[in-house]
Amino acid sequence: MSILAINEQLLRAIGVGVAVVRASDLSFVFYNGPFDEWFGTPADGQTLLDLIPSLDPRELDDVKQSGLRYTVELQIKPKRRTLIFATAVSLANGLSEQVLVVEFQNITRIRELESMIDSYSTMVERNTRELEREKERVERLLLNLMPRAVYEEFKTFGVVTPQLYDQVSVVMLDFVGFTDFAAKTDPTVTLSELNDIFTAFDRIVEQFGCERIKTIGDAYLAVSGMPDATPDHATAVAHCAVRFLRYLERRNESHPHKWQARIGLGMGAAVGSVVGIQKYVYDVFGPAVNIASRLQVFANPMHIVAPEEMKYALIDEFQVSDIGRVDIKGMGEMDLINVTSGLSVPQPVRRF
* pLDDT at residue 5 tops 70: no
Interatomic CA distance for residues 233 and 15, integer angstroms: 73
In angstroms, the CA 180 to CA 169 distance is 31
Q: Are 238 and 209 in contact (CB under 8 A)?
A: no
pLDDT the model gives residue 303: 93
Do 247 and 235 contact (CB within 8 A), yes or no? no
pLDDT reported for residue 333? 86
Q: 3-class SS at 225?
A: coil
The string of DSSP codes covering 63-98 is HHHH---EEEEEEE-SSSS-EEEEEEEEEE-SSSS-
Looking at residue 242, its pLDDT comes to 93
The answer to whether 325 and 307 have CB atoms below 8 angstroms apart is no
Q: Spell out the residues 6+ positions from residue 200 whose beta carbon is closer than 8 angstroms to its own.
A: 247, 251
Q: In the chain, what percentage of residues exceed pLDDT 90?
A: 23
- Between 176 and 114, where is the model more confident? 176
Confidence of residue 312 (pLDDT cuts 50, 70, 90): confident
3-112 and 151-341 have identical folds: no
Task: Quickly count: other Cβ atoms within 10 Å of residue 59's Cβ.
Answer: 13
Q: Are 209 and 236 in contact (CB under 8 A)?
A: yes
CATH entry 3.30.450.20 includes domain 3-112: yes
Q: Is the pLDDT of residue 343 over 50?
A: no
Across residues 63-87, what is the average pLDDT? 84
What are the extents of the domains in the chain?
3-112, 151-341
**Residue 51 and residue 39 in contact, taking contact as beta carbons nearer than 8 Å:** yes
- What is residue 147's predicted lDDT score, i.e. its pLDDT? 72
* Residues 148, 271, 167: CA angle, nearest 5 degrees: 90
Section 319-333 average pLDDT: 86
pLDDT above 80 (res 330): no
**Packed helices 148-157 and 107-145: angle between N→C axes, nearest 10 degrees:** 130
Ranges 28-37, 117-126, 155-164, 288-297: which has the least confidence = 155-164
Angstrom distance (rounded) from CA 286 to CA 225: 14
Confidence of residue 80 (pLDDT cuts 50, 70, 90): confident
Bridge partners of residue 100, in order along the sequence: 21, 91
Confidence band for 274, pLDDT divided at 50, 70 and 90: confident
Dihedral, 242, 247, 253, 254 alpha carbons, nearest 10:
180
pLDDT of residue 212: 86
* H, E, C per residue of 279-310: CCEEEEECHHHHHHHHHHHHCCCCEEEEEHHH
Reply yes or no on whether the pLDDT at 236 is more than 70: yes
98-107, 171-180, 296-305, 328-337, range with the lowest pLDDT: 328-337
Mean pLDDT over 295-310 rounds to 90
Give the whole-angstrom CA distance, residue 291 versus residue 288. Answer: 5
What number is the average pLDDT over the span 170-182? 90
Gap between the Cα atoms of 144 and 182, Å rounded: 25
What average pLDDT does range 241-259 have in this prediction? 92
CATH code linked to domain 151-341: 3.30.70.1230
* Residue of 268 and 10 predicted with greater confidence: 268
In this structure, of 60-74, 226-240, 279-293, 315-329, the range with the lowest mean pLDDT score is 279-293
Question: What pLDDT score does 14 carry?
Answer: 57
Report helix, strand or coil for 19.
Answer: strand
The share of the chain scoring above pLDDT 70, in percent, equals: 89
**Residues in contact with 24: Cβ distance below 8 Å, sequence separation at least 6, in sequence order:** 97, 98
pTM above 0.75, yes or no: no
Mean pLDDT of 48-68: 89
Which helix (H) or strand (E) segment is 270 a member of? strand 261-275
Split at pLDDT 50, 70, 90, the class of 173 is very high
Is residue 165 over pLDDT 90? no
Check residue 277 and give its pLDDT.
Answer: 66
Average pLDDT of the chain?
83
Amino acid 82: pLDDT: 81
Q: Does residue 265 have a pLDDT over 90?
A: yes
Pairwise CA distance, residues 75 & 49, whole Å: 15
For 101-167, give the DSSP string.
Answer: EEEEEEHHHHHHHHHHHHHHHHHHHHHHHHHHHHHHHHHHHHHHHS-HHHHHHHHHHSS---EEEEE
